[in-house]
Amino acid sequence: MSLNIIFMGTPEFAVPVLKSLHASKHKLLCVYTQPPKKKARGQKILSSPIYQLAKKLKISVRSPLNLNEDTEYDFIKKINPSIVVVVAYGQIIPKKFLDLSGVIFLNIHASILPKWRGAAPIQRAIMNLDNESGISIMKIVPKLDSGPVMMKSKLTISKDTNFDELSKKLSELGARLILDSLNLIQNDKAIFVDQNEKEASYAKKIKKTESKLNWENPAKKIIAKINALYPNPGSWLEYKGSRIKVIKALEVKLNGKPGEILNKNFTIACSKNAIQILKLQKEGKREMKTSEFLKGNNLEVGIKIS
């Protein structure tokens, strides 16, 4: 017997989960995703990765601006799903939806709850120098990411792990765990365990103002930020009036005044140790190795950059 499922998701992170559900024995009734957005340059209209996949798979798609409309409530009530699977959808699910009789709303969250509830759990885990992250599958309740958890699985974070890499691994993990979770629910074996509120922490949304590198921080924290914010919005420094995005860097045991260029290898002093930039991107240019950048740019050793 299959479960009737509505899927709600928007970004690339949600794509493996939708693929997994589509390939399973369960029935996808429809997909909800955020409406198309205008791209900044050229004002081109861009539909979400989930919208594009749903159309390719010939699944019905709905993209309401606001879930608080009676139209959407009446629609979901009418088609009567068993489960609503939510992955980075981008809208709060109204309480009256959660109160629908016989419907379980499940969220696939990219952290080991109750740690890192909120909008940016992957980035905050890397920036915090956490050794692990993971996926939690929980029942959605009105309070943000605080519902009881039925399943968790962990992944290791190394000092070189960036957001792009970890996000892909976690999304694939979520795609596997959701099928295990649905099987438990189907067989009446699901156990939902309340979260410990005393252990809760929150992953605030990343602000663009956080992107600029602060040399008063130790090297390991700066590298963690570079990794956490790759590829978007990215971490940057300013050199001779130009903004340079730092793609990859290495901690080295050299000292100097914070922000000082220490050698011709583009090594910059931090409050503790220094970072050697290995890969970068100038504004409007492609990513490149620092060695390639240095062929056309003569670094001034000893100057302080912002």
Q: For 104-125, how does the pLDDT look when each residue is reduced to its tens digit (9 = 90+)?
A: 999 999 999 999 999 999 999 9
Tell me the mean pLDDT in the region 134-159. 97
Percent with pLDDT over 90 in the chain? 92
Residue 8 lies in a domain: yes
Per-residue confidence band for 229, with pLDDT thresholds at 50, 70 and 90: very high
Same domain? 172 vs 238: no
Per-residue confidence band for 41, with pLDDT thresholds at 50, 70 and 90: low
Supply the pLDDT for residue 15. 98
Q: How many domains does the chain have?
A: 2
Residue 39 has pLDDT above 80, yes or no: no
Please identify, among 150, 175, 203, the residue that sits at the C-terminal boundary of a domain: 203
Please identify, among 203, 234, 250, the residue that sits at the C-terminal boundary of a domain: 203
> CA 32, 178, 4 angle in degrees (round to 5)?
55
Percent with pLDDT over 70 in the chain? 98
> CA 301, 303, 306 angle in degrees (round to 5)?
125
Same domain? 100 vs 19: yes
Per-residue confidence band for 145, with pLDDT thresholds at 50, 70 and 90: very high
Q: 126, exposed or middle or buried, with CB in 10 Å at 0-12, 13-18, 19+?
A: buried
Per-residue confidence band for 40, with pLDDT thresholds at 50, 70 and 90: low
Residue 270 lies in a domain: yes
Same domain? 60 vs 192: yes
Residue type, 197: E
The Cα 84–Cα 78 span in angstroms is 14
Residue 75 has pLDDT above 70, yes or no: yes
Query: Residue 256 has what DSSP assignment?
Result: -
Supply the pLDDT for residue 297. 86
Please identify, among 203, 228, 257, the residue that sits at the C-terminal boundary of a domain: 203
Residue 306 lies in a domain: no
- For 57, the token pair is 């798979």
DSSP 85-105: EEES-SSPPPHHHHT-TT-EE
Residue 300 lies in a domain: no
Same domain? 78 vs 178: yes
CATH number at residue 278: 3.10.25.10
Count other C-beta atoms under 10 Å from residue 95's C-beta.
9
Supply the pLDDT for residue 43. 67
Tell me the mean pLDDT in the region 162-190. 98
What lies within 8 Å, CB to CB, of 297 at 6+ separation is none
Q: 41, exposed or middle or buried, with CB in 10 Å at 0-12, 13-18, 19+?
A: exposed
Residue 86 lies in a domain: yes
Tell me the mean pLDDT in the region 279-298. 92
Same domain? 138 vs 214: no
Candidate from 41-55, 111-125, 140-154 with smallest mean pLDDT = 41-55
Same domain? 196 vs 257: no
Answer yes or no: are the C-beta atoms of 203 and 121 closer than 8 Å.
yes
Same domain? 168 vs 212: no
Supply the pLDDT for residue 187. 95
Same domain? 268 vs 122: no
Distances in Å between the Cα of 196 and the Cα atoms of 110, 111, 132 are: 17, 14, 19
pLDDT digits (tens, 9 = 90+) for 180-219: 999 999 999 999 999 999 999 999 999 989 999 999 999 9
Range of the domain at 123: 4-203
CATH number at residue 182: 3.40.50.170
Distances in Å between the Cα of 222 and the Cα atoms of 128, 272, 306 are: 11, 10, 14
Same domain? 143 vs 100: yes
Residue 75 lies in a domain: yes
Residue 303 lies in a domain: no
Nearest to 5 by CA among 55, 38, 42, 54: 54
Same domain? 106 vs 32: yes
Q: How far is C-alpha 286 from the chain's CA centre?
A: 23
Per-residue confidence band for 67, with pLDDT thresholds at 50, 70 and 90: very high
Supply the pLDDT for residue 44. 78
Q: What's the pTM?
A: 0.95
Same domain? 95 vs 184: yes
Supply the pLDDT for residue 259. 97
Please give the mean pLDDT across all residues of the chain.
96
- For 156, the token pair is 């290791």
Residue 301 lies in a domain: no
Count other C-beta atoms under 10 Å from residue 10's C-beta.
21
Same domain? 227 vs 93: no
Supply the pLDDT for residue 12. 97
Per-residue confidence band for 240, with pLDDT thresholds at 50, 70 and 90: confident
Nearest to 116 by CA among 159, 157, 68: 157
